Amino acid sequence: MKFNPQKSTFGRHETFPLRYGWLTKAIQQVNKEGHTDIFKQPEVAMTRLGLGKNMVNALQYWLQVIGVMDFNDGVANITEFGRALLGENGDPYLEDEATIWIIHWRIASNPELATGFFWFFNHFSMPRFKNGEVLLSLVDFVGQELKNRSESTLKSDISTLLRMYSPTAGRNDEHLDSPMSLLGLLSNEVSGSYLSQRAVRPFLPAVALHFALQSRFAEQPQQTPLPINSLLYGGDGYPAPGAVFRLNEEGLMAALAKVMESYPNCYELRETAGLHQLYLNSPPLKATDLLKAYYQGRAA
């Protein structure tokens, strides 16, 4: 999804990061009923989901950001994508790390509903920073690109993002930490600084980058190649897989090689007039078809 300054969202997570078990609970509850309007009834939702009122609101927000549910007049329905990702033939309990990487891509590539997260992973490039520095940078970005937002709302986004992606030392209750902290994209230091560095990331699942690339090609004019520089740094308003997955140039090229080995005849790298570009050799796959093929192959 391309960044549109007219459509942005901050702070709707009520300061609650996405937590373990939340997506599973919601999917199971809606599966049980076929569809549900419990999100219109706070007391009912709190009882059935075992969450506080603000947590229910946050869960509804994350379900929409990731795209696993849609809400028509408050009635929740699992999307086709949601069934492919978290249904019984997908990965309902987030046991496959590739699922978490794909969820991360869905969040960080959604400038409309998760603007602060999109900005952090696609625009903020300081490898080491303090809380105040990243907030100041976001305030500056918003002042230049968007209508003014209250600093407290932007601060809420930054605080939630930092807690969601950085593991908490000494905490062993998986229900309190977010699954996103497993990805190693952000860490905090004893000094109070944070690290979010580009690296090689040899353990990035090929299917996660494949998913991101298919998403990007789906938004391109037919048969238009993607410059490697754009995939690495962005700058065209679209999310950049290299930035979202915090890959350096060596890491992106290694990850692309793994994808091309895992999905032969799908992509082709060419150099024209000194410009490296990635070509797609067939029409982009639907996200649901890609996921179904992956999870079916894993089960086999």
Question: What are the pLDDT tens digits along the chain (300 aa)?
Answer: 899 989 999 999 999 999 999 999 999 999 887 777 888 888 888 999 899 999 999 999 999 999 999 998 888 999 999 999 999 999 999 999 999 999 999 999 999 999 999 999 999 999 999 999 999 999 999 999 887 788 999 999 999 999 999 987 545 454 457 999 999 999 999 888 999 999 999 999 999 999 999 999 999 878 789 999 999 999 889 999 999 999 999 999 999 999 999 999 999 999 987 899 999 999 999 999 999 999 998 876
Instruction: Give phi and psi for 247, each to the nearest 5.
Output: -100, 140
In a domain, 6, yes or no: no
DSSP assignment string, 189-232: -TTS-EE---B--TTS-HHHHHHHHHHHHHTSPTT--EEHHHHH
In a domain, 277, yes or no: yes
Tokens (6 digits) for 198: 């580009």
For residue 71, the domain's CATH number is: 1.10.10
In a domain, 11, yes or no: no
**Does residue 127 sit in helix, strand or coil?**
coil
In a domain, 105, yes or no: no
The domain boundary residue, chosen from 140, 166, 195: 195
The domain boundary residue, chosen from 167, 195, 223: 195
Q: What b/e sequence results for 219-230 when a residue is b if at least 16 CB atoms lie within 10 Å of its CB, and e otherwise?
A: eeeeeebbebbb
Structural domains counted in the chain = 3
CA dist 138 and 115 (Å) reads: 10
Same domain, 166 and 236: no
Cβ(245)–Cβ(204) below 8 Å: yes
Tokens (6 digits) for 61: 């927000």
Q: Parallel, antiparallel, or unpaired for β 128-129 and 194-195? A: antiparallel
CA dist 209 and 213 (Å) reads: 6
In a domain, 252, yes or no: yes
Same domain, 182 and 239: no
Taking the model in full, what pTM does it have?
Answer: 0.95
Structural domain containing residue 132: 117-195
> Count of CB atoms within 10 A of residue 7's CB?
12
In a domain, 159, yes or no: yes
